[in-house]
């Protein structure tokens, strides 16, 4: 029987408040690992995390303060206008 397991492999908060998340996907057949792959996503301050894993929601609640969100948005606006 095939079994697919997805789990958070790592997460990191960058200095500007972005959260990098690596998702590990493992495929097993009869308990033996057949395949392992990774994908990464970045969650920006202020981005909706309601459909993310509870661990990521908790990190965002702590790290994405109003001040961090404002600073990030201001920085993005400044970059896009230059």
pLDDT per residue as tens digits for the range 15-52? 999 999 999 999 999 999 999 999 999 999 999 999 99
**In total, how many domains does the chain have?**
1
3-state secondary structure of 45: coil
Residue 56: domain span: 2-80
Joined together, the tokens standing for residue 44 give 């920006």
pLDDT of residue 40: 97
């Amino acid at each position: 029987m095939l079994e697919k397991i997805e789990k958070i492999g790592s997460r990191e908060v960058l200095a500007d408040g972005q959260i990098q998340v690596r998702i590990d996907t493992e495929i097993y057949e009869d308990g033996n690992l057949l395949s392992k792959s990774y994908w990464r996503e970045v969650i920006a301050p202020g981005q909706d995390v309601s459909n993310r894993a509870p661990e990521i929601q908790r990190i965002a609640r702590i790290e994405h303060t109003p001040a961090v969100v404002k600073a990030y948005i201001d920085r993005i606006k400044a970059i896009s206008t230059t």
